[in-house]
Amino acid sequence: MLLNILIAGLGYAAEEATGDNVILSLDELIQIALTNNPQVDSAFAQKDQREGQLTQARSSYLPQLSINGDYSRVKVDGLQPEDEGNIAHGGANVSQLIYDFGGATGAIDAGRANLEASFANLEKVSQGIVLQVRQACYKVLERKHLIKVAEQAVSNYEQHLDRAKEYFKAGVRTRIDVVNAEVELSSARLRLLQSQYDLKSARVELERILGKVPSNGKYALVPILDGLDRLHNKMPPLPGPLAKLLETANEQRQDILQQKAFIKTAEAVIRQADSGYWPSIGATAGLDTYDTDLSTFQDQWNVGVGFTWELFSGFRTRGKQVEAKAFHRENLYRLHDLELMVTQEVTDSLIRADENRESVLLNMETVRLATENLKLASERYKAGLNDMIEYNDAELRFTTAQGNLIASYFAYLSSLARIDYSIGTPAPLIAQQ
């Protein structure tokens, strides 16, 4: 009951809806960021590049058609009468790769794998943006709560200054108590000013991640924390167990899926390199037509099947094989290293979340004790049983305890967001830019 009375001023909405402010939820902030953050646009552009590369690779198995034409004057020596005249020539050629023992298919498979990796990268970037938005949003809300704590401290010091002045006029206290109260009030106002500018800085950071300033800055955030006295019932539970989180991470982490796609690319590159030892078989067809009076130039066509076999390339093919196999091994090692890193990241994020949860519970008890201590110090000062220093210390401990509780609560929320990111929780769907 005592705690509720002393911190009643902290039962407030984290972001008040003043004026024409638009109220934005966390989900709405995430959608704004996924639509406007340039990192997402860049990931989309990378995906489009991989689609273009795959289209180029597939072109190897499609017919290649070309036409050509020229106009010239020709004189053919050795004929009687002499053969000389103008020639208009047009031609068309078609070629079709039939089989090259894995060269074209390897390029296509590599293109598919790279495209798959780009989709994984897009999702990974989106998940990173979601994490940044959540943490930035929590920071804004935390700063807003800390402003209320600072405002409450200023109000308490103002009341105490008035009380000290009354006691001084009555001759109960000395002038030093008034001066001391004025100093503490000035310090509290300075802390309030710093908290207000910290909030502005946090909003700037949030807007950078969003990629725009919503509603020209006329926006507020949906409150998360109603009051410090109800924290215990508002705390989300810890996810777990760890084994389940690690299993989920291995299935969902986009950087792991991306690395597995790179391994597929490396395997396709090996097939491409191996094809250098074998011939390339293809079909060709051509047509040449002439518009001229010269009898030596007649329309003609050709159709044929042929092969090209490079018997010796100065060990170039061997070098490609060595490079491709080493590239494959490198990606296998990277996958193993990534899996170890993910295990550490998931484990550490769960440890930190548990630590922050315990900190919230301990800070709640600290606030309760600091509240009791402040009440006793205030009553002792009124009764003339202590000096101003004892009261100021009690007030500072109370304010510090409130700030620590708020900071630990939002640190806990941020650590839960980190867990979601570490296990690869899918980001909301976004439309292609």
DSSP string, 47-70: HHHHHHHHHHHHGGGS-EEEEEEE
The answer to whether residue 351 scores a pLDDT higher than 70 is yes
Instruction: List helix spans (H) across 211-313.
Output: 231-234, 242-252, 254-274
User: For position 295, what pLDDT does the model report?
Assistant: 76
- Assess whether pLDDT exceeds 70 at residue 73: yes
3-class secondary structure, 7: coil
Whether residue 259 is predicted with pLDDT greater than 70 in this model: the reply is yes
What is the average pLDDT across 293-314? 85
**Other Cβ atoms within 10 Å of 364 Cβ, number:** 20
pLDDT of 387 strictly over 80: no
- Cβ density class 153-168: b for 16+ within 10 Å, e for less: bbebbeebbebbbebb
Residue 379 belongs to some domain of the structure: yes
Nearest-angstrom CA–CA distance, 243 and 254:
19
Q: What is the dihedral of CA 181, 187, 188, 189, to 10 degrees?
A: 110
pLDDT of residue 78: 62
Banded model confidence at residue 4, pLDDT cuts 50, 70, 90: very low
Residue 78 in domain: no
**3-state SS record for 174-209:** CHHHHHHHHHHHHHHHHHHHHHHHHHHHHHHHHHHH
Cis peptide before 241 (omega within 30 of 0): yes
pTM of this prediction? 0.84
Cα(first)–Cα(last) distance of the chain, in Å? 54
What is the rounded average pLDDT of the residues 178-191? Answer: 90
DSSP structure class, residue 244: H
Query: Is the model's pLDDT at 419 over the cut of 90?
Result: yes
pLDDT in tens, 208-221: 999 999 999 899 99
Q: Is residue 183 part of a domain?
A: yes
Q: Would you call 84 helix, strand, or coil by DSSP? A: strand
Between the CA of residue 171 and those of 164, 166, 175, 239, 388, what are the distances in Å?
A: 10, 9, 9, 61, 15
What's residue 12's pLDDT?
35
301, part of any domain: no
Assign residue 128 the CATH number of its domain.
1.20.1600.10
Q: Which of 408, 34, 88 minimizes the C-alpha distance to 235?
A: 408
- State the chain's mean pLDDT as an integer: 87
Which phi and psi angles does 99 have, rounded to 5°?
Answer: -165, 140
pLDDT for res 115: 95
pLDDT at 8: 36
Q: Is residue 413 part of a domain?
A: yes
389 pLDDT more than 90: no
Q: Does residue 15 register a pLDDT over 70? A: no
pLDDT at residue 174 greater than cutoff 90: no
The percentage of the chain sitting over the pLDDT mark of 90, rounded to a whole number, equals: 61
Range of the domain at 400: 2-62+104-277+315-422
In whole angstroms, what separates CA 431 from the centre of its chain? 16
- Which amino acid, one-letter code, is at 47? K
∠ at Cα 135 (139, 40), nearest 5°? 130
Phi, psi (rounded to 5 degrees) for 46: -65, -40
Average pLDDT for 141-164: 91
Q: Look at residue 430 in the predicted model and tell me its pLDDT.
A: 61
Q: Which of 116-120, 167-171, 325-329 has the lowest mean pLDDT?
A: 167-171
For residue 294, the 8-state DSSP code is -
Q: How confident is the model at residue 48 (pLDDT cuts 50, 70, 90)?
A: very high
**Number of domains within the chain:** 1
| pLDDT at res. 229 | 67
How far apart are the C-alpha atoms of 251 and 410, rounded to whole Å? 29
Strands 22-24 and 219-221, how do they pair? parallel
Which residues have C-beta within 8 Å of that of residue 299, sequence separation ≥ 6? 287, 288, 289, 290
Q: Is the pLDDT confidence value at 237 over 60?
A: yes
Look at residue 241 and tell me if it is in a domain: yes
**Which band of pLDDT confidence, cut at 50, 70 and 90, is reported for residue 339?**
very high
DSSP output for 349-418: HHHHHHHHHHHHHHHHHHHHHHHHHHHHHHHHHHTTSS-HHHHHHHHHHHHHHHHHHHHHHHHHHHHHHH
Helix (H) or strand (E) holding 30: helix 26-36
Identify the weakest region by mean pLDDT among 108-117, 126-135, 170-179. Answer: 170-179
Residue 57 in any domain: the answer is yes
User: What confidence tens digit (pLDDT) does each residue in 262-273 have?
Assistant: 999 999 999 989
Q: Which whole number is the average pLDDT over 212-235?
A: 82
Let me know if residue 269 belongs to a domain: yes
- The pLDDT, as a whole number, for residue 171 is 80
138 touches 199 (CB < 8 A): no
